Amino acid sequence: MIRYSLHCAEGHDFESWFASATAFDDLKARGLVSCALCGGNRVEKALMAPAVAAKAAEPAARPDLKAPASEIETALAALRREVEANSEYVGMNFVSEARRMHAGDSPERAIHGEARPDEARKLIEEGVPVAPLPFLPVRKAN
């Protein structure tokens, strides 16, 4: 495995792991490497310092992996809490429930759930007001 620091055309810096340098080159050539922040696929390797292990006088403290690592992670966590506290999770029934609410066949309320991209596109084409959320449902998160 190899970790690269990456930079997208929109100015975002992020890191990602790849099976090998060849795997990165192959995925990039096929347009499958995208920015972790904006989704853009114009991504380049950024300059990196080599990882050199320093002699440690004492064991290094383990990082708290549950704590947000950046302002973006903090903002996403706050958004998730807001959405979950103020809307009803309807799971895989999101598409049908959104259509029913739009048609007036179900009480109007804030909902969130799951939809395939093609289903979400159809809702938008039908004029149903929906928007993607920038996080996975809790049941799909690690």
Strand-pairing partners, residue 7, are 13, 44
Residue 141 clears pLDDT 60, i.e. is over it:
no
- Give pLDDT tens digits for 32-50: 898 888 888 899 998 776 6
Specify whether the CB–CB gap between 39 and 98 falls below 8 A. Answer: no
Strand-pairing partners, residue 6, are 14, 45
63 — pLDDT class (breaks 50, 70, 90): confident
pLDDT score at 93? 95
Strand-pairing partners, residue 138, are none
64 — pLDDT class (breaks 50, 70, 90): confident
Residue 52 clears pLDDT 80, i.e. is over it:
no
Please name which of 120, 110, 104 lies closest in space to residue 88, comparing C-alpha atoms: 110
Distance CA 140, CA 135 (A): 10
Q: Could you give the count of Cα atoms lying within 13 Å of 111 in the half-sphere of its Cβ?
A: 23
pLDDT score at 142? 52
Distance CA 111, CA 118 (A): 19
Average of per-residue pLDDT values in the chain:
87
Specify whether the CB–CB gap between 123 and 94 falls below 8 A. Answer: no
Residue 55 clears pLDDT 60, i.e. is over it:
yes
Distance CA 55, CA 118 (A): 53
